[in-house]
Chain A
Amino acid sequence: MIAASLRQLSQALAAKRISSVELTRLFLDRIERLNPALNAFVTVDPEKSLKVARAADARIAAGAAGPLTGIPIAQKDIFCAEGWRTTCGSKMLANFVSPYDATVIRKMEAEAGLVSLGKTNMDEFAMGSSNETSFFGPVRNPWDTGRVPGGSSGGSAAAVAARLAPAATGTDTGGSIRQPASLCNLTGLKPTYGVVSRYGMIAFASSLDQGGPMAASAEDCALLLNAMAGFDERDSTSLDRPAEDYARDLERPLAGLRIGLPREFFGEGCAAGVMAAVQAALGEYGKLGATLVEVSLPNSHLSVPAYYVIAPAEASSNLSRFDGVRYGYRAPEYGGLDDMYAKTRAQGFGDEVKRRILIGAYVLSHGYYDAYYLQAQRIRRLIADDFVEAFKACDVIMGPTSPSTAFRLGEKAADPVQMYLSDIYTIAVNLAGLPGMSIPCGFADGLPAGLQLIGNYFAEARLLNVAHRYQQATDWHRRPPAGLE
Protein backbone atom coordinates (compact mmCIF):
# COMPACT_ATOMS: atom_id res chain seq x y z
CA MET A 1 0.00 0.00 0.00
CA ILE A 2 2.86 2.37 0.77
CA ALA A 3 4.14 2.33 -2.79
CA ALA A 4 0.76 1.95 -4.52
CA SER A 5 -0.37 4.31 -7.25
CA LEU A 6 -3.47 6.44 -6.74
CA ARG A 7 -5.40 4.20 -9.14
CA GLN A 8 -4.39 1.13 -7.11
CA LEU A 9 -5.40 2.86 -3.88
CA SER A 10 -8.70 3.86 -5.44
CA GLN A 11 -9.36 0.26 -6.48
CA ALA A 12 -8.41 -1.09 -3.04
CA LEU A 13 -10.77 1.37 -1.37
CA ALA A 14 -13.60 0.62 -3.80
CA ALA A 15 -13.16 -3.15 -3.29
CA LYS A 16 -13.10 -2.60 0.51
CA ARG A 17 -9.68 -4.27 0.77
CA ILE A 18 -8.73 -1.32 2.97
CA SER A 19 -10.67 1.55 4.50
CA SER A 20 -9.75 5.20 4.28
CA VAL A 21 -9.27 5.23 8.06
CA GLU A 22 -6.79 2.33 7.83
CA LEU A 23 -4.96 3.92 4.94
CA THR A 24 -4.81 7.29 6.70
CA ARG A 25 -3.46 5.63 9.88
CA LEU A 26 -0.83 3.81 7.82
CA PHE A 27 0.54 7.10 6.51
CA LEU A 28 0.12 8.96 9.83
CA ASP A 29 2.21 6.21 11.45
CA ARG A 30 4.93 6.66 8.83
CA ILE A 31 4.88 10.42 9.42
CA GLU A 32 5.24 9.91 13.16
CA ARG A 33 8.14 7.51 12.65
CA LEU A 34 10.06 9.13 9.77
CA ASN A 35 9.20 12.83 9.82
CA PRO A 36 11.58 13.78 12.68
CA ALA A 37 14.55 12.94 10.43
CA LEU A 38 13.13 14.74 7.37
CA ASN A 39 11.10 17.70 8.74
CA ALA A 40 8.77 17.42 5.76
CA PHE A 41 5.58 18.16 7.71
CA VAL A 42 5.21 21.19 9.97
CA THR A 43 1.69 20.36 11.15
CA VAL A 44 -0.16 17.08 11.55
CA ASP A 45 -3.48 16.65 13.29
CA PRO A 46 -4.41 12.95 13.28
CA GLU A 47 -7.87 13.49 14.78
CA LYS A 48 -8.75 15.99 12.08
CA SER A 49 -7.45 13.71 9.30
CA LEU A 50 -9.21 10.63 10.68
CA LYS A 51 -12.51 12.50 10.90
CA VAL A 52 -12.29 13.25 7.18
CA ALA A 53 -11.26 9.63 6.53
CA ARG A 54 -14.35 8.37 8.38
CA ALA A 55 -16.54 10.64 6.24
CA ALA A 56 -14.80 9.26 3.14
CA ASP A 57 -15.51 5.68 4.28
CA ALA A 58 -19.17 6.61 4.72
CA ARG A 59 -19.21 8.04 1.21
CA ILE A 60 -17.63 4.89 -0.20
CA ALA A 61 -20.14 2.71 1.68
CA ALA A 62 -23.00 4.82 0.30
CA GLY A 63 -21.73 4.34 -3.26
CA ALA A 64 -21.14 8.10 -3.60
CA ALA A 65 -17.35 8.02 -3.91
CA GLY A 66 -15.29 9.70 -6.60
CA PRO A 67 -12.04 8.21 -7.92
CA LEU A 68 -9.91 9.84 -5.19
CA THR A 69 -12.31 9.60 -2.24
CA GLY A 70 -10.53 8.35 0.86
CA ILE A 71 -6.97 8.75 -0.46
CA PRO A 72 -4.62 10.64 1.87
CA ILE A 73 -2.67 13.64 0.58
CA ALA A 74 -0.13 16.12 1.96
CA GLN A 75 -0.93 19.82 1.56
CA LYS A 76 1.73 22.45 1.07
CA ASP A 77 1.45 24.90 3.94
CA ILE A 78 0.76 27.76 1.53
CA PHE A 79 -2.88 26.66 1.16
CA CYS A 80 -5.24 28.05 3.78
CA ALA A 81 -7.25 25.23 5.33
CA GLU A 82 -10.00 25.99 7.80
CA GLY A 83 -9.06 25.04 11.36
CA TRP A 84 -5.51 24.12 10.32
CA ARG A 85 -2.49 26.14 11.31
CA THR A 86 -1.34 27.70 8.01
CA THR A 87 2.17 29.16 8.30
CA CYS A 88 3.59 29.58 4.77
CA GLY A 89 6.90 28.63 6.40
CA SER A 90 7.05 31.97 8.22
CA LYS A 91 7.28 33.22 11.79
CA MET A 92 4.80 35.85 10.59
CA LEU A 93 2.09 33.16 10.41
CA ALA A 94 3.51 30.66 12.91
CA ASN A 95 0.31 30.76 14.99
CA PHE A 96 -2.19 31.55 12.25
CA VAL A 97 -5.15 29.16 12.17
CA SER A 98 -6.99 29.77 8.93
CA PRO A 99 -10.66 30.71 9.23
CA TYR A 100 -11.39 29.52 5.67
CA ASP A 101 -10.46 26.98 3.00
CA ALA A 102 -8.50 27.71 -0.16
CA THR A 103 -10.46 26.65 -3.25
CA VAL A 104 -7.91 23.89 -3.88
CA ILE A 105 -8.48 22.52 -0.36
CA ARG A 106 -12.26 22.75 -0.70
CA LYS A 107 -12.24 21.00 -4.07
CA MET A 108 -9.90 18.25 -2.90
CA GLU A 109 -11.52 17.58 0.49
CA ALA A 110 -15.20 18.52 0.22
CA GLU A 111 -15.69 17.58 -3.45
CA ALA A 112 -13.15 14.86 -4.32
CA GLY A 113 -13.02 13.39 -0.80
CA LEU A 114 -9.23 13.37 -0.41
CA VAL A 115 -7.95 13.22 3.17
CA SER A 116 -5.40 15.88 4.20
CA LEU A 117 -2.63 14.27 6.27
CA GLY A 118 -1.12 17.59 7.31
CA LYS A 119 0.72 20.67 6.11
CA THR A 120 4.16 20.43 4.54
CA ASN A 121 7.22 22.54 5.17
CA MET A 122 8.30 25.07 2.54
CA ASP A 123 10.62 27.97 1.92
CA GLU A 124 9.26 31.05 3.68
CA PHE A 125 6.45 32.52 1.55
CA ALA A 126 7.66 30.15 -1.21
CA MET A 127 10.84 32.19 -1.69
CA GLY A 128 13.66 29.73 -2.10
CA SER A 129 14.98 26.74 -4.01
CA SER A 130 16.27 24.60 -1.15
CA ASN A 131 13.69 24.78 1.66
CA GLU A 132 16.37 26.34 3.86
CA THR A 133 14.51 29.64 4.32
CA SER A 134 11.69 28.02 6.32
CA PHE A 135 11.17 29.37 9.85
CA PHE A 136 10.62 25.72 10.83
CA GLY A 137 14.05 24.58 9.72
CA PRO A 138 15.27 22.89 6.56
CA VAL A 139 13.74 19.78 5.01
CA ARG A 140 16.10 16.91 4.29
CA ASN A 141 16.15 15.02 1.01
CA PRO A 142 15.14 11.36 1.52
CA TRP A 143 17.74 10.35 -1.08
CA ASP A 144 20.53 11.85 1.04
CA THR A 145 19.65 13.59 4.29
CA GLY A 146 22.74 15.80 4.03
CA ARG A 147 21.20 17.38 0.94
CA VAL A 148 18.31 19.72 0.21
CA PRO A 149 15.03 18.52 -1.30
CA GLY A 150 14.77 21.63 -3.48
CA GLY A 151 12.19 24.29 -2.98
CA SER A 152 9.98 25.93 -2.37
CA SER A 153 7.69 22.85 -2.26
CA GLY A 154 10.47 20.88 -0.54
CA GLY A 155 8.34 19.46 2.26
CA SER A 156 5.77 18.12 -0.21
CA ALA A 157 8.55 16.60 -2.33
CA ALA A 158 10.29 14.92 0.62
CA ALA A 159 6.97 13.66 1.99
CA VAL A 160 6.04 11.90 -1.26
CA ALA A 161 9.58 10.66 -1.96
CA ALA A 162 9.74 9.05 1.50
CA ARG A 163 6.16 7.79 1.07
CA LEU A 164 4.89 9.70 4.07
CA ALA A 165 2.03 10.53 1.69
CA PRO A 166 0.90 9.01 -1.62
CA ALA A 167 0.85 12.48 -3.23
CA ALA A 168 0.99 16.17 -2.38
CA THR A 169 0.06 19.63 -3.52
CA GLY A 170 2.69 22.17 -4.49
CA THR A 171 2.89 25.66 -5.93
CA ASP A 172 5.24 26.95 -8.60
CA THR A 173 6.18 30.61 -9.10
CA GLY A 174 9.61 30.08 -10.69
CA GLY A 175 10.08 26.31 -10.48
CA SER A 176 8.86 25.42 -6.99
CA ILE A 177 7.02 22.27 -8.10
CA ARG A 178 9.37 21.11 -10.86
CA GLN A 179 12.76 21.67 -9.20
CA PRO A 180 11.98 19.77 -5.96
CA ALA A 181 10.27 17.06 -8.03
CA SER A 182 13.51 16.75 -9.98
CA LEU A 183 15.70 16.63 -6.86
CA CYS A 184 13.48 14.04 -5.12
CA ASN A 185 12.69 11.73 -8.09
CA LEU A 186 9.03 12.75 -8.41
CA THR A 187 6.62 13.75 -11.12
CA GLY A 188 5.36 17.31 -10.74
CA LEU A 189 3.14 19.49 -12.91
CA LYS A 190 2.78 23.25 -13.02
CA PRO A 191 -0.39 23.95 -15.01
CA THR A 192 -1.07 26.82 -17.41
CA TYR A 193 -1.47 30.04 -15.43
CA GLY A 194 -5.15 30.38 -14.51
CA VAL A 195 -6.07 26.67 -14.55
CA VAL A 196 -5.86 26.10 -10.78
CA SER A 197 -7.49 28.67 -8.49
CA ARG A 198 -5.22 30.88 -6.39
CA TYR A 199 -8.00 31.71 -3.90
CA GLY A 200 -6.67 30.99 -0.42
CA MET A 201 -3.20 30.18 -1.76
CA ILE A 202 -1.01 32.70 0.06
CA ALA A 203 0.20 35.10 -2.63
CA PHE A 204 3.88 35.50 -3.52
CA ALA A 205 3.95 36.81 -7.11
CA SER A 206 0.37 36.83 -8.30
CA SER A 207 1.00 36.90 -12.05
CA LEU A 208 3.25 33.81 -11.77
CA ASP A 209 1.92 31.68 -8.88
CA GLN A 210 0.21 28.45 -9.85
CA GLY A 211 -0.73 25.38 -7.81
CA GLY A 212 -0.28 21.84 -9.06
CA PRO A 213 0.19 18.18 -8.14
CA MET A 214 3.34 16.31 -7.02
CA ALA A 215 3.27 12.52 -7.07
CA ALA A 216 5.09 9.39 -8.18
CA SER A 217 3.73 9.27 -11.71
CA ALA A 218 2.08 11.23 -14.50
CA GLU A 219 -1.05 9.12 -14.10
CA ASP A 220 -1.27 10.13 -10.43
CA CYS A 221 -0.77 13.79 -11.40
CA ALA A 222 -3.53 13.57 -14.02
CA LEU A 223 -6.01 12.24 -11.46
CA LEU A 224 -5.00 14.93 -8.96
CA LEU A 225 -5.23 17.74 -11.50
CA ASN A 226 -8.79 16.60 -12.28
CA ALA A 227 -9.59 17.33 -8.63
CA MET A 228 -7.62 20.61 -8.37
CA ALA A 229 -8.37 22.46 -11.61
CA GLY A 230 -11.41 24.45 -12.61
CA PHE A 231 -12.85 27.93 -12.92
CA ASP A 232 -13.25 29.86 -9.68
CA GLU A 233 -15.25 33.07 -9.33
CA ARG A 234 -13.11 33.96 -6.32
CA ASP A 235 -9.86 34.21 -8.27
CA SER A 236 -9.97 37.14 -10.68
CA THR A 237 -7.34 35.49 -12.93
CA SER A 238 -9.01 32.07 -12.98
CA LEU A 239 -9.82 31.05 -16.55
CA ASP A 240 -13.42 30.23 -17.40
CA ARG A 241 -13.00 27.15 -19.56
CA PRO A 242 -14.95 23.89 -19.86
CA ALA A 243 -13.82 21.18 -17.42
CA GLU A 244 -11.51 18.56 -18.92
CA ASP A 245 -10.38 15.06 -18.05
CA TYR A 246 -6.61 15.38 -17.83
CA ALA A 247 -6.23 11.59 -17.93
CA ARG A 248 -8.07 11.25 -21.26
CA ASP A 249 -4.96 11.05 -23.46
CA LEU A 250 -2.62 9.10 -21.18
CA GLU A 251 -2.42 6.05 -23.44
CA ARG A 252 -2.12 7.91 -26.76
CA PRO A 253 0.88 6.60 -28.78
CA LEU A 254 3.77 8.99 -29.28
CA ALA A 255 4.49 8.16 -32.92
CA GLY A 256 5.02 11.43 -34.78
CA LEU A 257 5.53 13.51 -31.64
CA ARG A 258 7.92 16.40 -32.34
CA ILE A 259 10.14 17.21 -29.37
CA GLY A 260 11.78 20.63 -29.45
CA LEU A 261 15.20 20.93 -27.85
CA PRO A 262 16.09 24.56 -27.10
CA ARG A 263 19.78 24.92 -27.85
CA GLU A 264 20.03 27.33 -24.88
CA PHE A 265 19.12 24.45 -22.51
CA PHE A 266 21.81 22.15 -23.86
CA GLY A 267 24.88 24.36 -23.56
CA GLU A 268 27.21 25.08 -20.69
CA GLY A 269 26.02 25.23 -17.11
CA CYS A 270 24.33 21.86 -16.69
CA ALA A 271 26.05 19.11 -14.68
CA ALA A 272 27.35 16.35 -16.95
CA GLY A 273 25.54 13.59 -15.06
CA VAL A 274 22.20 15.39 -15.35
CA MET A 275 22.77 16.04 -19.07
CA ALA A 276 23.64 12.37 -19.66
CA ALA A 277 20.37 11.29 -18.02
CA VAL A 278 18.42 13.83 -20.11
CA GLN A 279 20.09 12.62 -23.33
CA ALA A 280 19.30 9.00 -22.46
CA ALA A 281 15.65 9.97 -21.92
CA LEU A 282 15.55 11.67 -25.32
CA GLY A 283 16.93 8.43 -26.80
CA GLU A 284 14.08 6.54 -25.15
CA TYR A 285 11.57 8.99 -26.67
CA GLY A 286 13.14 8.24 -30.06
CA LYS A 287 12.35 4.56 -29.51
CA LEU A 288 8.77 5.53 -28.66
CA GLY A 289 8.41 7.14 -32.09
CA ALA A 290 9.17 10.79 -31.36
CA THR A 291 11.41 12.95 -33.51
CA LEU A 292 13.81 15.53 -32.11
CA VAL A 293 14.05 19.04 -33.57
CA GLU A 294 16.31 21.87 -32.49
CA VAL A 295 14.51 25.05 -31.48
CA SER A 296 15.71 28.29 -29.94
CA LEU A 297 14.59 30.43 -27.00
CA PRO A 298 16.99 33.30 -27.70
CA ASN A 299 15.87 35.43 -24.75
CA SER A 300 15.87 32.67 -22.14
CA HIS A 301 19.12 33.99 -20.61
CA LEU A 302 17.11 37.06 -19.58
CA SER A 303 14.49 35.07 -17.69
CA VAL A 304 16.28 34.99 -14.32
CA PRO A 305 17.08 38.74 -14.33
CA ALA A 306 13.51 39.67 -15.39
CA TYR A 307 12.03 37.28 -12.85
CA TYR A 308 14.02 38.87 -10.01
CA VAL A 309 12.37 42.18 -10.84
CA ILE A 310 8.81 41.00 -11.45
CA ALA A 311 8.50 38.47 -8.62
CA PRO A 312 9.95 40.75 -5.89
CA ALA A 313 7.85 43.69 -7.14
CA GLU A 314 4.68 41.65 -6.81
CA ALA A 315 5.86 40.18 -3.51
CA SER A 316 6.56 43.59 -1.99
CA SER A 317 2.98 44.56 -2.79
CA ASN A 318 1.43 41.25 -1.66
CA LEU A 319 3.39 41.06 1.58
CA SER A 320 2.48 44.61 2.62
CA ARG A 321 -0.61 43.00 4.17
CA PHE A 322 1.53 41.57 6.97
CA ASP A 323 1.47 44.59 9.24
CA GLY A 324 0.63 43.15 12.65
CA VAL A 325 -2.94 44.42 12.59
CA ARG A 326 -5.41 41.90 11.18
CA TYR A 327 -3.64 38.54 11.51
CA GLY A 328 -0.26 37.01 12.17
CA TYR A 329 2.68 38.17 14.23
CA ARG A 330 2.89 41.49 16.05
CA ALA A 331 6.12 42.66 17.73
CA PRO A 332 5.79 42.48 21.52
CA GLU A 333 7.18 45.99 22.10
CA TYR A 334 6.90 49.13 19.99
CA GLY A 335 6.30 52.86 20.09
CA GLY A 336 3.84 54.37 17.61
CA LEU A 337 2.06 52.80 14.63
CA ASP A 338 4.97 53.14 12.19
CA ASP A 339 7.32 51.61 14.73
CA MET A 340 4.86 48.74 15.26
CA TYR A 341 4.83 48.04 11.49
CA ALA A 342 8.61 48.27 11.14
CA LYS A 343 9.40 46.07 14.16
CA THR A 344 6.67 43.54 13.34
CA ARG A 345 7.99 43.12 9.80
CA ALA A 346 11.65 43.11 10.89
CA GLN A 347 10.99 40.33 13.41
CA GLY A 348 8.31 38.40 11.49
CA PHE A 349 10.06 37.99 8.12
CA GLY A 350 13.26 36.03 7.48
CA ASP A 351 16.28 37.35 5.57
CA GLU A 352 15.38 36.08 2.08
CA VAL A 353 11.83 37.43 2.27
CA LYS A 354 13.14 40.80 3.44
CA ARG A 355 15.66 40.90 0.59
CA ARG A 356 12.93 40.32 -1.97
CA ILE A 357 10.60 42.90 -0.42
CA LEU A 358 13.45 45.44 -0.54
CA ILE A 359 14.24 44.66 -4.19
CA GLY A 360 10.55 45.00 -5.00
CA ALA A 361 10.20 48.29 -3.13
CA TYR A 362 13.23 49.65 -4.96
CA VAL A 363 12.26 48.62 -8.51
CA LEU A 364 8.77 50.05 -8.02
CA SER A 365 9.98 53.30 -6.46
CA HIS A 366 9.87 56.68 -8.14
CA GLY A 367 12.48 57.10 -10.85
CA TYR A 368 13.29 53.39 -11.23
CA TYR A 369 9.99 51.93 -12.42
CA ASP A 370 10.67 52.28 -16.16
CA ALA A 371 14.25 51.04 -16.04
CA TYR A 372 13.40 47.94 -14.02
CA TYR A 373 9.76 46.98 -13.86
CA LEU A 374 8.66 48.02 -17.36
CA GLN A 375 11.87 46.65 -18.90
CA ALA A 376 11.27 43.32 -17.13
CA GLN A 377 7.70 43.20 -18.43
CA ARG A 378 8.91 43.87 -21.97
CA ILE A 379 11.44 41.07 -21.66
CA ARG A 380 8.66 38.89 -20.36
CA ARG A 381 6.86 39.36 -23.65
CA LEU A 382 10.02 38.58 -25.64
CA ILE A 383 10.34 35.33 -23.68
CA ALA A 384 6.67 34.41 -24.22
CA ASP A 385 7.02 35.19 -27.95
CA ASP A 386 10.06 32.90 -28.16
CA PHE A 387 7.89 30.01 -27.00
CA VAL A 388 5.15 30.88 -29.52
CA GLU A 389 7.78 30.69 -32.25
CA ALA A 390 9.29 27.44 -30.92
CA PHE A 391 5.91 25.70 -30.76
CA LYS A 392 5.47 26.24 -34.50
CA ALA A 393 8.14 23.56 -34.98
CA CYS A 394 7.36 21.15 -32.14
CA ASP A 395 4.61 19.75 -29.90
CA VAL A 396 6.52 19.68 -26.63
CA ILE A 397 9.81 21.18 -25.46
CA MET A 398 12.26 19.16 -23.38
CA GLY A 399 15.44 19.76 -21.43
CA PRO A 400 16.83 19.45 -17.92
CA THR A 401 14.63 20.65 -15.05
CA SER A 402 17.51 21.72 -12.83
CA PRO A 403 21.17 22.28 -13.72
CA SER A 404 22.28 19.96 -10.90
CA THR A 405 21.14 17.16 -8.66
CA ALA A 406 20.34 17.90 -5.00
CA PHE A 407 23.02 20.08 -3.44
CA ARG A 408 24.28 19.95 0.14
CA LEU A 409 22.51 21.78 2.94
CA GLY A 410 24.21 25.16 3.33
CA GLU A 411 26.07 24.89 0.01
CA LYS A 412 24.27 27.82 -1.65
CA ALA A 413 22.71 29.47 1.38
CA ALA A 414 25.28 32.26 1.68
CA ASP A 415 24.94 33.54 -1.90
CA PRO A 416 21.40 34.41 -3.02
CA VAL A 417 22.41 34.67 -6.70
CA GLN A 418 23.83 31.12 -6.79
CA MET A 419 20.56 29.89 -5.31
CA TYR A 420 18.51 31.82 -7.89
CA LEU A 421 20.42 30.18 -10.75
CA SER A 422 19.17 26.76 -9.72
CA ASP A 423 15.86 27.77 -11.38
CA ILE A 424 17.51 28.79 -14.64
CA TYR A 425 15.55 26.28 -16.77
CA THR A 426 12.19 26.63 -15.05
CA ILE A 427 11.58 30.38 -14.68
CA ALA A 428 10.86 31.18 -18.36
CA VAL A 429 7.86 28.84 -18.21
CA ASN A 430 6.28 30.88 -15.40
CA LEU A 431 6.97 34.17 -17.16
CA ALA A 432 5.22 32.86 -20.27
CA GLY A 433 2.41 31.23 -18.22
CA LEU A 434 2.89 27.85 -19.91
CA PRO A 435 2.39 24.39 -18.39
CA GLY A 436 5.56 22.51 -17.38
CA MET A 437 6.42 19.18 -15.81
CA SER A 438 9.39 17.41 -14.31
CA ILE A 439 9.69 13.63 -14.51
CA PRO A 440 12.39 11.31 -13.18
CA CYS A 441 14.86 10.35 -15.92
CA GLY A 442 17.73 8.62 -14.14
CA PHE A 443 20.45 9.17 -11.59
CA ALA A 444 23.80 10.91 -11.37
CA ASP A 445 26.05 9.63 -8.56
CA GLY A 446 23.02 8.05 -6.91
CA LEU A 447 20.95 11.24 -6.92
CA PRO A 448 17.81 11.76 -9.03
CA ALA A 449 17.84 13.81 -12.25
CA GLY A 450 14.73 15.34 -13.78
CA LEU A 451 13.56 15.84 -17.36
CA GLN A 452 11.53 18.97 -17.95
CA LEU A 453 8.57 18.88 -20.36
CA ILE A 454 7.08 22.19 -21.49
CA GLY A 455 3.79 22.33 -23.37
CA ASN A 456 1.80 24.97 -25.18
CA TYR A 457 -1.03 26.75 -23.33
CA PHE A 458 -3.63 24.27 -22.00
CA ALA A 459 -1.60 21.26 -23.22
CA GLU A 460 -1.64 19.60 -19.76
CA ALA A 461 -3.33 16.43 -21.05
CA ARG A 462 -0.74 16.15 -23.81
CA LEU A 463 2.17 16.66 -21.40
CA LEU A 464 0.76 14.03 -19.06
CA ASN A 465 0.41 11.67 -22.04
CA VAL A 466 4.02 12.26 -23.10
CA ALA A 467 5.21 11.69 -19.53
CA HIS A 468 3.02 8.61 -19.00
CA ARG A 469 4.22 6.77 -22.12
CA TYR A 470 7.83 7.29 -21.00
CA GLN A 471 6.97 6.03 -17.52
CA GLN A 472 5.44 2.88 -19.03
CA ALA A 473 8.75 2.21 -20.78
CA THR A 474 11.03 3.07 -17.84
CA ASP A 475 11.05 2.52 -14.08
CA TRP A 476 13.05 5.51 -12.79
CA HIS A 477 9.92 6.95 -11.18
CA ARG A 478 9.26 3.69 -9.29
CA ARG A 479 12.66 3.58 -7.60
CA PRO A 480 12.50 4.40 -3.89
CA PRO A 481 15.23 5.94 -1.75
CA ALA A 482 17.02 3.43 0.49
CA GLY A 483 16.44 3.00 4.21
CA LEU A 484 12.89 4.26 4.55
CA GLU A 485 10.92 1.04 4.96
Chain B
Amino acid sequence: MPLTLEQVQRIAHLARIEISESEAATTQGHLNGIFRLIEQMQAADTTGIEPMAHAQDLSQRLRGDAVTEDDRRAAFLAVAPETEAGLYLVPKVIE
Protein backbone atom coordinates (compact mmCIF):
# COMPACT_ATOMS: atom_id res chain seq x y z
CA MET B 1 0.00 0.00 0.00
CA PRO B 2 1.71 3.22 -1.16
CA LEU B 3 2.33 6.03 1.31
CA THR B 4 0.14 9.11 0.95
CA LEU B 5 1.52 12.64 1.13
CA GLU B 6 -0.14 13.02 4.52
CA GLN B 7 1.66 9.91 5.79
CA VAL B 8 4.99 11.26 4.55
CA GLN B 9 4.33 14.51 6.41
CA ARG B 10 3.36 12.61 9.55
CA ILE B 11 6.50 10.45 9.50
CA ALA B 12 8.64 13.55 8.94
CA HIS B 13 7.00 15.10 11.97
CA LEU B 14 7.65 11.95 14.05
CA ALA B 15 11.29 12.07 12.94
CA ARG B 16 11.50 15.83 13.68
CA ILE B 17 12.59 16.70 10.16
CA GLU B 18 11.01 19.77 8.57
CA ILE B 19 9.85 19.00 5.06
CA SER B 20 8.38 21.34 2.43
CA GLU B 21 5.46 20.34 0.19
CA SER B 22 7.67 19.91 -2.86
CA GLU B 23 10.20 17.85 -0.86
CA ALA B 24 7.37 15.71 0.46
CA ALA B 25 6.27 14.85 -3.07
CA THR B 26 9.79 13.80 -4.18
CA THR B 27 10.29 11.91 -0.93
CA GLN B 28 6.97 10.13 -1.40
CA GLY B 29 8.16 8.77 -4.76
CA HIS B 30 11.49 7.57 -3.36
CA LEU B 31 9.97 6.01 -0.25
CA ASN B 32 7.34 4.16 -2.24
CA GLY B 33 10.07 2.74 -4.49
CA ILE B 34 11.92 1.52 -1.42
CA PHE B 35 8.75 0.08 0.12
CA ARG B 36 8.08 -1.89 -3.08
CA LEU B 37 11.47 -3.52 -2.45
CA ILE B 38 10.68 -4.06 1.24
CA GLU B 39 7.28 -5.60 0.48
CA GLN B 40 9.07 -8.65 -1.01
CA MET B 41 9.45 -9.73 2.63
CA GLN B 42 5.73 -10.33 2.94
CA ALA B 43 5.91 -13.35 0.64
CA ALA B 44 8.13 -15.22 3.12
CA ASP B 45 6.48 -17.64 5.52
CA THR B 46 8.02 -16.94 8.93
CA THR B 47 5.46 -18.74 11.07
CA GLY B 48 7.11 -19.96 14.27
CA ILE B 49 10.46 -18.28 13.53
CA GLU B 50 11.97 -16.45 16.50
CA PRO B 51 12.94 -12.86 15.60
CA MET B 52 16.72 -12.35 15.59
CA ALA B 53 17.78 -9.04 17.12
CA HIS B 54 21.51 -9.53 17.05
CA ALA B 55 24.03 -11.90 15.55
CA GLN B 56 25.23 -13.56 18.73
CA ASP B 57 21.95 -13.78 20.65
CA LEU B 58 23.76 -12.76 23.84
CA SER B 59 22.20 -11.03 26.80
CA GLN B 60 23.57 -7.65 27.80
CA ARG B 61 26.64 -7.76 29.99
CA LEU B 62 26.38 -6.13 33.43
CA ARG B 63 29.16 -4.23 35.17
CA GLY B 64 29.84 -3.25 38.74
CA ASP B 65 28.10 -0.09 39.97
CA ALA B 66 31.29 1.92 40.23
CA VAL B 67 32.58 5.23 38.84
CA THR B 68 34.82 4.44 35.89
CA GLU B 69 34.93 7.71 33.93
CA ASP B 70 36.75 10.99 34.60
CA ASP B 71 34.91 14.30 34.74
CA ARG B 72 35.02 15.57 31.13
CA ARG B 73 32.24 18.13 31.54
CA ALA B 74 34.20 21.08 30.17
CA ALA B 75 35.39 19.14 27.11
CA PHE B 76 31.90 17.90 26.30
CA LEU B 77 30.26 21.31 26.79
CA ALA B 78 32.87 22.87 24.51
CA VAL B 79 31.42 21.06 21.46
CA ALA B 80 27.81 22.17 22.11
CA PRO B 81 26.21 24.83 19.89
CA GLU B 82 25.17 27.00 22.83
CA THR B 83 25.94 26.79 26.56
CA GLU B 84 25.76 29.06 29.58
CA ALA B 85 26.98 28.56 33.13
CA GLY B 86 27.79 24.91 32.43
CA LEU B 87 24.36 24.16 30.95
CA TYR B 88 23.09 23.43 27.44
CA LEU B 89 20.89 26.24 26.11
CA VAL B 90 17.66 25.46 24.22
CA PRO B 91 14.75 27.71 23.21
CA LYS B 92 12.42 28.52 26.08
CA VAL B 93 9.92 25.67 26.63
CA ILE B 94 7.99 27.05 29.63
CA GLU B 95 6.51 30.55 29.48
Contact = CB atoms under 8 A, between A and B. Distances in A.
Interface of A: 96-97, 99-100, 192-194, 207, 233, 236-237, 239-240, 299, 301-302, 304-306, 308-309, 316, 320, 323-330, 334-343, 345-346, 349, 354-355, 357-363, 365, 371-372, 374-382, 384, 415-417, 420, 432-434
B52 A375 contact: no
B51 A378 contact: yes
A325 B16 CA distance: 14
Contacts of A207: 53-55
Contact of B46 (A96, A354, A378): A378
Contacts of B11: 358, 361-362, 365
Given A339-B91, A381-B51, 6 more contacts: A97-B79, A325-B80, A329-B81, A355-B30, A380-B52, A416-B34
Given A375-B46, A378-B49, A306 B17 contact: no
A99 B79 contact: yes
Interface of B: 3, 7-8, 11-19, 27, 30-31, 33-42, 44, 46, 49-56, 58, 60-61, 63, 72, 75-76, 78-82, 88, 90-93
A208 B3 CA distance: 27
Nearest to B68: A233
Given A308-B38, A346-B18, A381-B52, A358 B31 contact: yes
A223 to B, nearest CB: 25
Given A309-B41, A357-B17, A377 B52 contact: yes
Contacts of A305: 37-41
Given A193-B56, A361-B15, A306 B41 contact: yes
Contacts of B56: 193-194, 237, 239, 433
B16 to A, nearest CB: 4
B50 A375 contact: no
Contacts, number: 170
Interface of B is mostly: loop
A384 B50 CA distance: 12
B27 A233 contact: no
Tell me the interface secondary structure of chain A in the complex. Answer: helix
A417 to B, nearest CB: 5
B50 A381 contact: yes
Contact of A302 (B15, B44, B61): B44
A417 B36 CA distance: 9
Contacts of B34: 308, 355, 359, 416-417, 420
Contacts of A100: 72, 75
B75 A99 contact: yes
Shortest beta-carbon contacts, A-B, top 9: A433-B55, A377-B51, A378-B46, A330-B81, A381-B52, A346-B18, A342-B18, A99-B75, A193-B55
A173 to B, nearest CB: 12
A77 B34 CA distance: 28
Contacts of B55: 192-194, 207, 384, 432-434
A325 B81 contact: yes
A466 to B, nearest CB: 22
B80 A326 contact: yes
A328 B56 CA distance: 33
Contacts of A239: 56, 58
Given A326-B80, A416-B34, A379 B46 contact: yes
A131 to B, nearest CB: 19
A1 to B, nearest CB: 37
B81 A375 contact: no
Contacts of B36: 417
A371 B15 contact: no
11 contacts: A97-B79, A194-B55, A236-B61, A302-B44, A316-B15, A330-B81, A361-B14, A363-B38, A372-B38, A382-B49, A433-B55
A457 to B, nearest CB: 8
Contact of A349 (B17, B31, B54): B17
Contacts of A343: 18
A288 to B, nearest CB: 30
Interface core residue of B27, B46, B90 (most chain A CB under 10 Å): B46
Nearest to A334: B91
A132 to B, nearest CB: 15
B72 A99 contact: yes
A280 B12 CA distance: 49
Contacts of A320: 16
Given A358-B17, A362-B11, A417-B33, A375 B41 contact: yes
A376 B13 CA distance: 24
Given A330-B81, A335-B91, A433-B55, A376 B41 contact: yes
A306 B34 CA distance: 11
Contact of A355 (B18, B31, B46, B50): B31
B19 to A, nearest CB: 7
A382 B17 contact: no
